[in-house]
Structure formats: C-alpha cells, structure tokens
Amino acid sequence: MGSCEKLILSGQLLLTACCGFYIPWWFRVFRPGGVQNWTEGRSGILLLFTALCGLGGLILTISGNNQAQVTRALYPGILVMAAGLAAYAFLMAFTGLVFHRPVTTELVLIVGWTVLELVTLNILYGTGRFRRREVLALIILVLAAFGINMILYVLYYRMDEWKAYYAAAVPLALDGIVMLVIAACIAASAPEGKEISMKMSVASENLHHGVWDTRITKTAYGENVSPQLSFDPVPGAQAYAVYMIDPDGRNWLHWKMLTASTDLAEGEGGSAYVGPYPPSGTHHYHVYVYALDSAPGSLPGELDAPGRDASAVAGQLEKSCGILAEGELTGTYTHGAR
C-alpha cells in the first residue's frame, strides 16, 4: 500500500470516528425539552473529539489525494468539484422554493462530503488500488447515501420534534458506515504486483511440439505473419492485451496488440506484430494474454525493440487498467530453421 493510500485510509477512519463522536453529542445536546449545553462536561469532550477527528480526517484524506500519482481516471476531479458547487446552489434554491426548507449548514456538509468521497474514490481507482467494478460499486453506495441524506434534509422541519431528533442522526450513521466500508476495501484490496490467481488457457495452431512455425518468423524462410491464437473468454473483461516477448533477446517485444476478440486468425496482428528473427541459436518466444478490467488508451512497450520483462509489463497493465486473468504460451525458434 502506497503512502498516499495510507493517508487516505487513516483519513477515512478519522472521519468515521468523527461521525461516531458526533452522534452521542447530538443526542445529549438536542434532546427535546433538554438544556442545550454544547460545551460543558461530557458534551464538551464529545464535541472536542468530533472536531479533532473531523479536521484530522479531512486533512489526511486531502493530503493523500494530493500526493497520489494516478495513471487513469473515471472522471476529471475538477469536474466533480465544479459539479458540487453547482449542485449546492441548485439544491439550496430548489429545497427553499419548492419545499420551503430553510438553508442550514447540513446542506454544505452533505454536498461537501459527497464531493470529497467521489474525488477520493476516483484517486484510488487512479492509483490502481480499486478495479473499475469495485470503485463503481462504492460510487453507487456514496450516491445512495447522498440521496437518503437529502430526503432527510428536506423532511427534517416537517417532522415532529422527536422524529426529527432521531432522524438527524441517520445521515451521520450512514456516512460513517459508508466511509468504514471504503476504509475496509482499501485495507483488504490486494497490493500492486499481486499474483493473478485466474488463469486463461491459450492455444495456437502455429505451435507444434513447442516449436513455432517458420511462417510466423521474420526470416528468409518466414512470412512475418502473427500466429493464430485462441484463449478463454473472461467474464467482465473489457479488452485483451496480447504480447510476444523474447526473454533470450533482452526481452525483445515482437507483438503488442489490444483486441476484443478471443480468437485471432493468422496474420491478424498486422503492423502490431514483428516475427521472431533470432541472430543465433534457439530463442524462446512467450505469448502472454491479459484480460483487462478496462480498455487502455495505449499499451506499454516499444514494438521491435528491447523492453521490460513480462512481470514488469503485467505490473504496468495492472496499475493502469487492472488485470482480471492471464494466460501464457511458449514456443521456440532456432536461427536458420526452415
């Protein structure tokens, strides 16, 4: 887990604690018919812890967001903040004009919390901590909490005092639960570079007894056509990345292709493929197929040039778009073979 993600995790836990201290403070201070001593005795202690946890959680979460190095985004963070300002102005006018609800600081807190969580989730997706499906599920959870909070915000002054007294604690509890879920997901999510447990079966009609057909080579006897390739479809995969790497030749990259198909015909690689041409001896040519959680704009690596090994390539893909499954096929070709 990166330092920025640790800051975000700590921030979410402190904000959860803030909600936890605020609820008993609310029940002590705003009990109908009671005396409202905001800062005396236990009420003062609860309010102090509420403020410290809230301020600390906000600082840590924002610091983690600012320090994060992201390689992707579901949406521009600045767009979320602009939408938050517009939403506040609209909701302030709408709830006042339509429901005659007086504007209170709770509206700022509801919209501000929602914006903070949406920006944070986008950052955690950008660092590779969350996959697309995980972050979308958490975004839906945050938006659902926002919807419930707004309903209770509108209804608060329409309830009798006891119902309003208890209803006011629901958004605090709900937001605390949502942040606790996010914190748990951060802590439980697998670190970058993890071993991918789901494996794919990969086969090629151009591979016979561990030796690649001469047809696929870029030699005097070959035709420089990419091999036929078929592999298992993976549920939820948005695209498949295909690589051919020669570890015996400084990890020379012979094939780099993004596809939606799980059955590639011979030659379908086109200009994304350069066949094997070992300068001497026997080289091993590994074909790697990665089922991706999201489709990248481009694939890492320079074609027909030395590059990074397969684990490094997989690490880049995992960080940028998430890997759901992987498969491998290995064959050899010997210099001068016909």
- In the prediction, which pLDDT does 193 show? 45
- In the prediction, which pLDDT does 315 show? 84
- In the prediction, which pLDDT does 191 show? 47
Query: Shortest CA distance to 178 belongs to which of 148, 203, 133?
Result: 148
Residues 6+ apart with CB under 8 A from 26: 168, 169, 172
CA distance 180 to 15: 9
- In the prediction, which pLDDT does 68 show? 83
pTM for the full model?
Answer: 0.61
Other residues' Cβ atoms within 10 Å of the Cβ of residue 73: 12
In the chain, the domains with their CATH numbers are: 3-188 (no CATH), 202-334 (3.90.280.10)
pLDDT higher at 277 or 236: 277
Give 248's DSSP letter: G
Query: Shortest CA distance to 122 belongs to which of 60, 182, 188?
Result: 182
Q: Quick check: 299 and 256 in contact, CB under 8 A?
A: yes
Residues 6+ apart with CB under 8 A from 247: 284, 286, 309, 310
Least confident range from 33-37, 103-107, 190-194, 323-327: namely 190-194
pLDDT in tens, 154-167: 999 889 989 999 99
CA distance 316 to 314: 5
Q: Which residues pair with 203 in a beta bridge?
A: 230
Between β-strands 263-264 and 229-231, what pairing exists: parallel, antiparallel or unpaired?
A: antiparallel
